[in-house]
Amino acid sequence: MVRWEPGAVERLHSAALELYATKGFEETTVAEIAQTAGLTERTFFRHFADKREVIFGGSELFQEGFLDGIVAAPADAKSLETVIAAVTGAAVFFPDDRRASSRQRTRIIAANPQLQERELQKMSSLASAIAAALRERGIREPAATLAAESGVTVFRMSFAQWIADGAERSLIDIERDLFAELRLMTGSEAQPTT
């Protein structure tokens, strides 16, 4: 009989991130995560396939967050407008109360080459999925891939600014500024005085 553990996923997630951050990802065992969360290993494996899934478990939802924005964009939206809708739409997944845990997660990944590689693959797969969704809307190549890659670049840069020490602005505000900067850079609006 499976016993229902209220908040088990959140407790395991929080215990795992804390241990990965202090002991290191490789050095942490599932037994320690379960113990720190006050749960059993069996409960851990009911929710996560392995230690890595605690960090990358939400990847499908994350990607869908972007793709939903593309589907919802007006039919006549051009490639960049569609990508802006996708990226800013997905910002709801990162409200300011997730900033601290996102920062912790990013530091854990930065400390481990295998996790870094997995994170890079996640970004690369996100760009491919956005490009495919743009092609389905009739946007031709190479515009689709170029717009998708630019959108992921803005997301990555915005995310890094969002989790920087002392940062206070919301992710969506940072993203909007960077997309405006992208337009300025390519000359579609007057250059700002530097």
Give residues in contact with its own copies (CB under 8 A). Answer: 78-80, 113, 116-117, 120, 138-140, 142-143, 145-147, 149-150, 153-154, 157, 161, 177-178, 181-188, 191, 194
Q: Which residue lies nearer to its own copies by CB, 36 or 153? A: 153
* Pair 63, 129: CB distance under 8 Å: yes
Q: How far is the CB of 14 from its own copies (least distance, A)?
A: 29
Our CA angle for 133, 137, 140, nearest 5°, is 90
Instruction: Name the amino acid, one letter, at 122.
Output: K
Q: Which amino acid is at 193?
A: T
Q: Which is nearer to its own copies, 8 or 149 (CB)?
A: 149
Residue 153: CB minimum distance to its own copies, A: 5
Compute the least distance from the CB of residue 171 to its own copies, in Å. Answer: 14
Residue 136's Cβ-count burial label (10 Å; 0-12, 13-18, 19+) is exposed
Q: Which residue, 63 or 153, is less far from its own copies as judged by CB?
A: 153
> Are 150 and 80 spatial neighbours (Cβ–Cβ below 8 Å)?
yes
Q: Report, in Å, the least distance between residue 42 CB and its own copies.
A: 32
Residue with the two structure tokens 């967050």: 65
